[in-house]
Amino acid sequence: MGGRDAKMVLLDENGVRCDGRKIDETRRIMIRAGGLKNADGSAYIEFGDNKILVGVFGPRDVHPKHMSNTDTGILRVRYHMEPFSVGDRKNPAPSRREIEISKVIKEALEPAVMLEKFPRTAVDVFIEVLQADGGTRCAALTAASVALADAGIPMRDMVAAVASGKVADTIILDVNNEEDQAGQADMPIGYMPSLDKITLLQLDGVLTPEEYKKCVDVGVKGCKVVYELQKKALKDKYFGSGGN
C-alpha cells in the first residue's frame, strides 16, 4: 500500500490532519443504492479514495446443500480485493486477511438480517474492493448493509461503520491509509444506531483505558453520521429525493 511520505505530519499544531481534515471529520462519503442489474440488491460506496462495489443474492437455494440449516437462513460473505486495488499488485487468490475480514463482516451483518424468516436458504454478499485506501472493511460493511436493504431482505437495522483511532496522541475519527500505517491505534467499529448495538469491533494499537472508552465513543458517533448517508442513499433510489 506504500506510505507516500515518511516524514509527513499526521496532525499539525492547528489540529489539521495530513489530508486537511479536522480530528472528528470523516472523509468524503458517497453511497449509491442499486446499480447492478443482475444482483438482487447492490450498492456502491466511495469513502475517501476507497471504491467498493457490493452485490447481494438471495434468499436462494444453498449450494453445497450440506451448508443449509433447517432452522434459519445462512449469510455468506466474501470480501475480495482486486489485484489492481492497491499499490503493488495483489495476488487475486483470497489471502488470510481477506478470509478473516469476510468472517468479521459476516458476523457484523448477522445481527441485522432476519435470517430466521428464510430457513434452508442462503443470502450471499459479494464485496469487491476496486480501490483501497485504508478503512476498506468499514466502507465495505456500510455498503453491504445498503445492498442488503436494496435487496429487500428484512432487517432489524442497518450496520454503519467507520474506524476511530489514535494519531499523534489524539483520538481521531476515520483513519485513512497514512494514519493507519504511521498512527498509534486503529479501531474499526460497526454499529446499529437504532438498536444501540456494536456488531463489529477490532483494535490494534496501544490505548490507555480512558482512550479506549473515548475511541469507542468517537467511533459510535461517527457511525451515526454514516448511518444518515446510508438512509439517504436508499431514499434517493426509492423516493427520488434529489438524484445522484
Using CB under 8 A, list all residues that contact other proteins.
96-97, 99-100, 102-104, 107, 110-111, 187, 192, 195-209, 212-213, 216-217, 220
Cell output for 91: 495476488
CB of 196 to other proteins, least distance (A): 5
Which residues does residue 128 pair with via DSSP β-bridges, in sequence order?
53, 80
In the complex with other proteins, which residue's Cβ is closer, 39 or 207?
207
In the complex with other proteins, which residue's Cβ is closer, 131 or 202?
202
In the complex with other proteins, which residue's Cβ is closer, 42 or 177?
177
Locus of grid cell 451483518: 109
Locus of grid cell 449450494: 63
CB of 207 to other proteins, least distance (A): 5
In the complex with other proteins, which residue's Cβ is closer, 1 or 36?
1
CB of 65 to other proteins, least distance (A): 17
In the complex with other proteins, which residue's Cβ is closer, 97 or 235?
97
In the complex with other proteins, which residue's Cβ is closer, 61 or 204?
204
Q: Do β-strands 29-33 and 160-167 pair in parallel, antiparallel, or remain unpaired?
A: unpaired
CB of 191 to other proteins, least distance (A): 8
Rounded Cα–Cα distance for residues 131 and 29 (Å): 14
Cα dihedral 136/58/191/70 (nearest 10): -130
CB of 238 to other proteins, least distance (A): 27
- Count of Cβ atoms closer than 10 Å to residue 168 Cβ: 16
CB of 240 to other proteins, least distance (A): 33
Rounded Cα–Cα distance for residues 171 and 155 (Å): 32
Rounded Cα–Cα distance for residues 231 and 225 (Å): 10
Task: Put residue 179 in one of left, alpha, beta given phi > 0 → left and psi -120 to 50 → alpha.
Answer: alpha
CB contact set of 89 (below 8 Å; sequence gap of 6+): 83
In the complex with other proteins, which residue's Cβ is closer, 9 or 99?
99
CB of 28 to other proteins, least distance (A): 27
Rounded Cα–Cα distance for residues 35 and 41 (Å): 8
Rounded Cα–Cα distance for residues 134 and 169 (Å): 20
